[in-house]
Amino acid sequence: MSKERISIFAGHFGSGKTEVAVNFALNAASKSKKVAIVDLDIVNPYFRTADAKIELEKMGIWVITPVYANTNVDVPALPPEMNSLFEKKEYDVIIDVGGDDLGAKVLARFKDEFLNEGYCLYFVVNTKRPMTDTEAKIEQMIYEIESSCGLKVTKLINNTNLLDNTDVDVVVEGHRIIERVSDKLGIPIGFVSGFTDLMGGIEKEIDVELFPLKKLIKLPWN
């Protein structure tokens, strides 16, 4: 896990980025920290932080959602609370952004603040999604995100899954691909995430920190 106060989660559609970000916020709050989570995903209107708002607020987490939720705009009206989060240093801040160059564009507005404050930009990868199923595609997406927002991806997250059909072999296969990207680009793997029932089997195969997930985000067809 990052020791930075600001953790940014990016990931392409279907990566499970929002699920990871929400669980990350709950984990931080369980350690008696003040936590704020910000939904800045302008790319995907379906898997939203707001889905878990009740559970997040039960844990005392400050949930910040934008006025443009459920739209897809190029120059979003960002929530005014963003500015105060750089001042309220008692808060750990989790930011959920879209995983392509359009999604990352919202970060560029606060580039100087992030660089001055320090941040960890996690790129969440599901190698079973068509846009991130090869090393080359993952590398290209990282390049596009960094070029768009002016920030560097600092850690990779293996969140490889096939929804209910996920097993240990699926996660391990994805991990080998992400390991090669990590080695080539010099970006460490922060952790492997997955639902709790898989953690025991994964631990036997992968020597990386594991982060168990609780299912909180609804699928749009449910």
The whole-number pLDDT of residue 221 equals 39
Residue ranges of domains in the chain? 6-213
pLDDT single digits (tens) 68-126:
554 554 445 677 888 899 999 999 999 998 766 677 888 998 999 999 999 999 999 99
The whole-number pLDDT of residue 61 equals 96
Q: pTM score, two decimals?
A: 0.90
pLDDT single digits (tens) 119-161:
999 999 999 999 999 999 999 999 999 999 999 999 999 999 9
User: 6-213 falls under which CATH superfamily?
Assistant: P-loop containing nucleotide triphosphate hydrolases (3.40.50.300)
pLDDT band (50, 70, 90) for residue 201? very high
Compute the distance between CA of residue 155 and CA of residue 54 in angstroms, rounded to an integer: 29
Range 182-187, long-range pairs (CB < 8 A, 24+ positions): 182/156, 184/135, 184/139, 185/139, 185/142, 187/123, 187/142, 187/153, 187/154, 187/155, 187/156
Q: Tell how strand 120-125 and strand 155-158 pair up.
A: parallel
Residue 220 identity (one-letter amino acid): P
The whole-number pLDDT of residue 96 equals 92
